[in-house]
Structure 1
Amino acid sequence: MTWEQLCKLGLELPEVVEDVWFRTPALKVRGKAFVRLKEDGASVVFMLESVDEQEFLITARSDVYFITDHYRGYPAVLARLSALRLPECRARLKSSWRLKAPRKLVAQLEGGDSAPEPRGKPQKTPRAKQVSSRAKSSPRPAPAKRARRAKP
């Protein structure tokens, strides 16, 4: 696999553009990078969902995936381009793209209008205010104004 071949695969995903990230070539979706070429030109950085996924990939395919100390504890993995094969590259690109793409765009790729599974931290839902019957019938009095202190 070469960076050019990887880009060709990545550009098949919706709204992907080639750009620069950390002064190296990268692929982005709506301004958010999901893969970039490392400075050595022989490996790429894929964004991952978790550090657990990183550890799994390195354990399962150490011939392809690895990290440096810089990526320890961060949800990303390095992949050797020379060992990366087409089907695996396509799957890794799609997975990384899904992490950075807006939810509506992910839903379009999946071919449905249903809401995709939530990612990241759960969103807080606003609580409905409980209004007592007393509050409905009589408005709350305005707070009293404070008297201003005279300047010395």
Structure 2
Amino acid sequence: MNPSVFVYLEFLRKTLLPLPGVTEKMCFGTPAFYVKKKIFTRIKEDGENLVLGTLERDKWMQANPETYYITDHYRNYDYMLVRLDKVDPEELKELLITAWRNRATGKLISEYENNL
């Protein structure tokens, strides 16, 4: 696994664990983040990519195919892969929060918005 994965993991934890209902567990041997037992992102086994739930992957892949892409495995799922060494941290933060929102309950989203 890529040693820089620990820097990425720290960023993910700092961004995601403060969100209501988020937990971290292992999935396919790598750290993954869930809300109410629903996965929304995980570090891919190579330690260089992030598997990220999104409802707008075509938009992101067209805008920046060097950073956002899929493999055949993800073609029929609402996920895209993110090259961690290429993604802008602020853009990634936005994508992570959106992925969380897509899985979170209305109550959790309200709790988050009330604490902004």
**TM-score of the aligned structures, taking structure 1 as reference length:** 0.66
Question: Is the 2:31–2:42 Cα contact (8 Å) retained in structure 1?
Answer: yes
Note the C-alpha offset of 1:59: 0.8
Question: Is the 1:2–1:82 Cα contact (8 Å) retained in structure 2?
Answer: no
- 1:84 aligns to what? 87
In structure 2, give the amino acid aligned to 1:46: L
The structure whose RCO (Cα within 8 Å, separation 6+) is larger is 2
- 2:61 aligns to what? 58
Question: Is the 1:21–1:33 Cα contact (8 Å) retained in structure 2?
Answer: no
* Structure number with higher helix proportion: 2
Question: Is the 2:24–2:32 Cα contact (8 Å) retained in structure 1?
Answer: yes
Matches for 1:2-151 after TM superposition, within 5 Å? 2-49=8-55, 53-111=56-114
CA RMSD for the aligned pairs? 1.7
Q: Percent identity?
A: 39
* Structure number with higher strand proportion: 2
- 2:3 aligns to what? none
Look up the SS of the partner of 1:98 in the other structure: helix
In structure 1, give the amino acid aligned to 2:27: W
**TM-score of the aligned structures, taking structure 2 as reference length:** 0.84
In structure 2, give the amino acid aligned to 1:97: W
Unmatched tracts of structure 2, length 5 or more: 1-6
Unmatched tracts of structure 1, length 5 or more: 113-152
